[in-house]
Structures are given as C-alpha cells and as structure tokens.
Structure 1
Amino acid sequence: MPLFKTYNINDSTSIFLWKITEDYDDLFANVKMKETSLKRIEGMKSESHQKGFLSVRMLLQHCGYNDFDLVYDEFGKPHLKDGKHISISHSFDFSAIAISDENIGIDIEQVKEKVLRIAPRFMEMWHLENLSELDKMKKATVIWGTKEAIFKVKNEVGISFPDHIFEKPFLLSDKKCSAELHFNTSIEKFDICFEEAENYILVCALQSK
C-alpha cells in the first residue's frame, strides 16, 4: 500500500510510516538499489527483514530520495548525502523513517506480552504501577522505544539502557515525555514523543534545546 501516515514533529522534522502489505516481488520491482544493498538483501534469511529493508527504500523514494542517497558510517548509523539527518526502524508490518535538520532517533515496536517479562532488565518498574495489563505493555514498549531512539541519536559503544537512560514520569495520554542520558560524566536531555499505530508504538527522540 502507499504511505500509511506522516507525523510532523516540528518545522524541520517528519516521520513517514509504511504499512507493509505488498509481497517481496512487488516491493523489489519498485525500488532502485546500489550493488551493496542488493548483496545485503540477498544475505538476509528472513523475508520479513527483506520486506522491511525494501519498504524503507519505498519510503526514501516517497521523500524524494533513493537508496543511492543513503550511506552508513563505520558504526552502522545511516546518513543522507545532502546532510539531512535520518533514522530508520522496522518491526514486522511497519517500517518508518525520520528525516530532520537535527540528529534524530526513532524506533517502532509491536506491543507484545514479552515486553513485561523483560521489563525489569531495562527499566524502572515504578513506571508501570496502577496500570491495566494492556497499558503496562504499551508503556513498557514506549520506554523501550525511548531507550532505542536515544541510543540511535548518540550511537556510542557502552551505553546501557538500565544504567544510563532514565525517563521522567509520564502518562500514555501525554504522547510525550522527557528523558536523560547519563554517560561519560555528562548528562544530556532529550524530548520524546510517541504515537500508536494499530498494535505498534512509534517513538521519536530529539536532543532538548
């Protein structure tokens, strides 16, 4: 299908969401890719990952770019050749890209029961007090996505989700929160916003100004 939804975060930042309903052949036939990307997709064992990879290229084309405009640095962080910042995420039925004048991180995750089993490993559990089971799952997913998105902004080896990234109290109805990264003797602040798309949570992180 075409673009699922666009979120305009600020004047220079937008997130584009694609719902993957096409089969592999349809996606492959509609994207242009450089040789390194063709080799990369051929090496993927999961068709879900292949379709996520291709749908990201569909999003690039929707935004006026293509695979040839996308490069990765030695740490695996994506960049656009024109100097714009980009962040990429994929989870099962959805892919997302964010394009911004600012360094940005996004993450999209399916809401699943598993997140509550692993929650004590990555977050402070007081965030989930007095919530229904469904809202616990959603909020834990927001917090996981927050940590992933901040990590994508910083992209530094050694950042620990439970030890270095801390979220301020928030409500799911707020659709935003703030968080801090305590790392390498400094504290950096981030503005977080999040949205629900069907059974998925999309999270965006930008450094506070």
Structure 2
Amino acid sequence: MPLEKIVHEPGRAWGLWHITEHEQELSMRLGALERVPESLTHPNKRLEFWAGRVLVKEILESMKVSFRGIVKDDFGKPFPAGLDYHLSLSHSYPYVAALVDTKHSVGIDLEQPKEKLFRIAPRVFAPGELHDAGTDLTKHCVYWCAKEAMLKVYGKKDLVFAENLLVSPFSLEGEGDIHGKIIVEDQVRMIPLHYVVYPNFVVVFNQSEEI
C-alpha cells in the first residue's frame, strides 16, 4: 500500500502518500463521500485529489474517528466534514502530505526541489532569506515550503511572502526545527516549524501548539 507513514503527536497526526494507483482504485476507497471537481481535468491533478482524501481518511481512522469528506471555508481552507478539527493538505505528484490537528490551525507543504525555485526566490524571499539559501536548491525548497505552510496556518491569501511570512536563517540538515513568523500590520505571530528532507521532496509543517 502506498501509505508511506502516519506520525502521531498529542492531538494531531500527519502522513505521507506515494501515488502508485489508478484513479478508480483511489476513488473506490471513498465511495460516494467525495466527487472530483469538473475543473480538474489533468490526470495527475485528479490523482492528487483522490490520494489526498484517501490519506486524510487513513489519518482520521488512525485517530479513531470517521472520515465524512472534506469541506472548505470561504478562503478555500479545507476541514474534515462533521468534525471540529483542522486540516492541511499538500501535493506534488506523485507525493501527497496531510496534517490533522484536533484544536489548532495547521499548515503543511510538500515540494520537490526544482530549478524554478531559483527563479521564484528573488520575488518571494526577504533579502536575508535569499542570502542564507544561497545556491542550495534544497534549502530554497525548505524556505518555500515554510512560507507556504505558514500561509495555510494563517488561513487567508492576502499576504506578501517576502514581507508577511519570514523564516529565520538555519543550518540545513536531514531534519530539523526552524523559526517562522507571520507579520500582519503591527501583529507578529511566531510559528515554530519542522522540516524533513527526503530523497525526492521536502516537507515542512507547523509544530504543535500544545505544551
């Protein structure tokens, strides 16, 4: 089974899925609980849709609750239907990641290190971040994922990556903690983040707010 892992922490769990199935195989695991949007026409995007929901189903069932589908708020942020839980999803074919928390807003992002990040970075990184990332493509990917994860924690889309979502310099390892902050007007919210570097992708998510 392409479920790579489910990691449990107090009040939350996150998981990874490696897509190897056909669309019908994935959709059959959900029955009538979900329906792929008509706007999703690319085969890989459709697979990401189904795999993400199957992964969330696996995570919720591992937390001893039932999956009833996924709903979205006015800003497009997903939530498990029928549960007062928080959810974040990310995908970069053929990989999917999901994070569920019973109390707090969450953000997870999965990306594959690709050369295009070097072109994007000057527009979305603050000068200090750009300097710290240097020419290390994996580090660029961690910075990018960290900002995406914080944006999902915030839950709205009206932030400027280089100004409102900042990440402190860090030494790149195979796995580690980094410090982020969301700055909106005069308010600063510190966001502790954790990253994991896999052979083909990077995952970053906000850490638990539980003491």
* TM category, shorter: 0.7 to 0.9
Query: How many angstroms apart in 2 are the aligned matches of 1:51 and 1:31?
Result: 13
Q: Deviations over 1:96-120 (max 9, x none)?
A: 1101122110010011111112211
Separation of aligned partners in 2, 1:46 and 1:158: 28
Write the deviation string for residues 10-57 of structure 1: whole angstroms up to 9, x where unpaired.
3222211000011222222222244xx4251x4312111100010112
Corresponding residue for residue 109 of structure 1: 111
Taking structure 2 as the reference length, the TM-score comes to 0.86
Matching residue of 1:154: 154
Q: Supply the distance in 1 between the matched residues of 2:69 and 2:35 (Cα, whole angstroms).
A: 15
One-letter amino acid of the structure 1 residue matched with residue 51 of structure 2: S
Alignment TM-score, normalising by the size of structure 1: 0.87
Q: Equivalent residue of 2:132, what SS?
A: helix
Structure 2: segments with no counterpart, 5+ residues: none
Partner of 2:190: 189
Distance (whole Å) between structure 2 residues aligned to residue 207 and residue 38 of structure 1: 31
- State the match for 1:172 in structure 2: 172
Structure 1 unaligned residues grouped into runs of 5+:
none
Structure 2 CA distance for aligned equivalents of residues 162 and 145 of structure 1: 13
1:97-155, Cα deviation, whole Å (9 max, x unpaired): 101122110010011111112211111311124xxx5xx11111111111111110112
> Quick one: distance in 2 between partners of 1:206 and 1:31?
29
Partner of 1:104, secondary structure, is coil
Contact 1:190-1:208 at 8 Å conserved across structures: no
Aligned with 2:51: secondary structure? Answer: helix
1:46-96, Cα deviation, whole Å (9 max, x unpaired): 111100010112112213243x34211111111122211111111111111
- Residue type of the partner of 1:121? R
After superposition, the CA RMSD in angstroms is 1.9
Runs of 4+ in 1 over 3 A off after TM superposition: 206-209
- Please name the residue that 2:19 is paired with: 20
1:189 and 1:208 in contact (8 A); partners too: no
Q: Secondary structure at the match of 1:177?
A: strand
Aligned residues: 199
Bigger helix fraction: 1
Q: In 1, Cα distance between the equivalents of 2:7 and 2:31?
A: 25
